[in-house]
């Protein structure tokens, strides 16, 4: 593809911005990433990229120089910074969120960021004055709790002569249709778009809103592999203790006499009289009452009492003979069934089950939901688990693989982690911290001037 514009990739991670802008005709002329494993993946992802000369380890090598890299107050002259940064049209940065000081004393908004990594971005913008700035961060940075930080970011860019929308642009991949770059995962991210052009920036809008119908637009099976295609498949299977937890809760879901289940179910609160005291938060009182009412239902009580005494490994096949639900860790005695709106005919054999659902082992409990989209990608401890009925060829409950998680992030080359020599734990972490390629491409396509984009 003919290269029609140049960009730099700060806090580059594993190259989400690089992939997205390359598709639109961009040429990356500088990348900066401090994490060694991320740099390995970045180099493996873009073999044509001159990593030896264009991939830097620390942004402060550029903005402060090696001799002053740890000096919070030092900044190189703009001319020196400009010499070390190639000319570019677009500056991209998925920058870390750090606390800013309160701007004051007539020093301007940019001074409030001194000592933070955002300040280093500002120094490069001052020195190079790119036509476009495209920043990405977690959604919370645009929330009420961080209103001062948000104002400082916006005004720091405006102080440098950029047009910046006041309102945050927050997009979730599963709120975009596939043709617009969407993917079936929840991942709230805020984008900041700034330009030197003297025009009113029109914020891109999600391709559809979050309605009940749209949430069921997605199906994740196309993003998953059959087990036969996965090397070392047993690495992604449940551990023996996890198998017991799933066995117990699946039995509960399949055999509960009544259709209704409260969310969440707390095993320790399944009792005739809820243990409520006045010091409790209202939400907790409500959960305790609902669990007690659920337990006292005539259809349920006898079943629940028996379920609580079942030995889930009677033959010691998994090494846990004698274990009952009450022996589970506290977080596994909590259950969040978020598939109540699914009709029974959507389950194989018309019987409600965990097998066609997506699950997460969270601190708040075992959460299950329909397999239309996945929760946000996070570290390996909360990697989504898919049931064997989610896709033909999945033989038992297992975690999604880094290859599959990469596909959900818009990275088609999921084998890149193996080529880079990083382990699964590092790959999950990188994907959890990375930007969604399709979303970045959607934002950039709607933000950058059409005249500089390649004919895609």
Catalytic residues: 97
**What's the CA gap between 95 and 133, in Å, rounded?**
12
Q: How many CB atoms lie within 10 A of CB 282?
A: 7
Task: Tell me if 57 sits within 8 A of 34, measured CB to CB.
Answer: yes
Give the CA radius of gyration of the chain. Answer: 25
Q: Identify which of 348, 143, 189 has the alpha carbon closest to the alpha carbon of residue 357.
A: 348
Q: Identify which of 372, 364, 159, 396 has the alpha carbon closest to the alpha carbon of residue 263.
A: 364
**What's the CA gap between 352 and 255, in Å, rounded?**
8
**What's the CA gap between 421 and 431, in Å, rounded?**
15
Give the strand order in the sheet containing 365-370: 265-266, 334-337, 365-370, 357-362, 385-386, 398-399
Task: Tell me if 195 sits within 8 A of 448, measured CB to CB.
Answer: no
Task: Tell me if 351 sits within 8 A of 254, measured CB to CB.
Answer: yes
Task: Tell me if 23 sits within 8 A of 441, measured CB to CB.
Answer: yes
**What's the CA gap between 91 and 135, in Å, rounded?**
8
Task: Tell me if 127 sits within 8 A of 78, measured CB to CB.
Answer: yes
């Amino acid at each position: 593809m003919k290269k029609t514009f140049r960009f730099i990739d700060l806090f580059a991670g594993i190259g989400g911005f690089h992939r997205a802008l390359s598709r639109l005709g961009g040429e990356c002329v500088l990348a900066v990433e401090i994490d060694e494993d991320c740099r390995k993946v970045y180099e493996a992802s873009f073999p044509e990229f001159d990593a030896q000369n264009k991939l830097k380890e620390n942004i402060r090598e550029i903005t402060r120089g090696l001799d002053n890299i740890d000096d919070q107050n030092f900044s190189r002259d703009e001319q020196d910074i400009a010499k070390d940064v190639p000319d570019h049209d677009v500056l991209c940065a998925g920058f870390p969120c750090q606390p800013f000081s309160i701007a004051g004393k007539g020093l301007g908004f940019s001074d409030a960021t001194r000592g933070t990594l955002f300040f280093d971005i500002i120094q490069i913008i001052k020195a190079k004055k790119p036509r476009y700035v495209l920043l990405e961060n977690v959604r919370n940075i645009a929330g009420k709790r961080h209103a001062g930080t948000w104002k400082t970011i916006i005004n720091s860019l405006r102080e440098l002569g950029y047009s910046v929308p006041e309102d945050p642009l927050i997009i979730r991949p599963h709120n975009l249709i596939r043709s617009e770059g969407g993917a079936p995962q929840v991942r709230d991210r805020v984008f900041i778009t700034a330009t030197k052009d003297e025009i009113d920036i029109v914020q891109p809008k999600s391709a559809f809103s979050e309605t009940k119908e749209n949430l069921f637009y997605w199906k994740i099976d196309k993003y998953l592999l059959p087990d036969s295609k996965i090397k070392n498949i047993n690495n992604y299977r449940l551990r023996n203790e996890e198998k017991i937890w799933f066995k117990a809760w699946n039995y509960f879901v399949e055999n509960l006499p009544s259709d209704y289940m409260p969310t969440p179910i707390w095993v320790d609160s399944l009792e005739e009289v809820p243990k409520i005291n006045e010091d409790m938060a209202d939400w907790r009182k409500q959960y305790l009452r609902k669990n007690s009412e659920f337990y006292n239902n005539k259809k349920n009580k006898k079943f629940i009492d028996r379920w609580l005494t079942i030995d889930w490994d009677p033959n010691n096949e998994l090494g846990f003979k004698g274990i009952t639900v009450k022996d589970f860790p506290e977080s596994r005695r909590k259950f969040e069934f978020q598939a109540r709106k699914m009709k029974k005919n959507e389950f194989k054999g018309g019987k409600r089950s965990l097998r066609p659902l997506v699950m997460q082992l969270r601190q708040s409990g075992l959460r299950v939901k329909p397999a239309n989209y996945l929760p946000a990608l996070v570290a390996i401890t909360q990697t989504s688990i898919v049931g064997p009925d989610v896709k033909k060829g999945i033989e038992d409950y297992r975690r999604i693989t880094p290859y599959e998680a990469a596909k959900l992030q818009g990275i088609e080359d999921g084998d890149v982690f193996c080529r880079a020599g990083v382990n699964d734990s590092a790959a999950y972490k990188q994907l959890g911290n990375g930007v969604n390629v399709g979303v970045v491409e959607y934002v950039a396509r709607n933000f950058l001037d059409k005249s500089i984009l390649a004919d895609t």
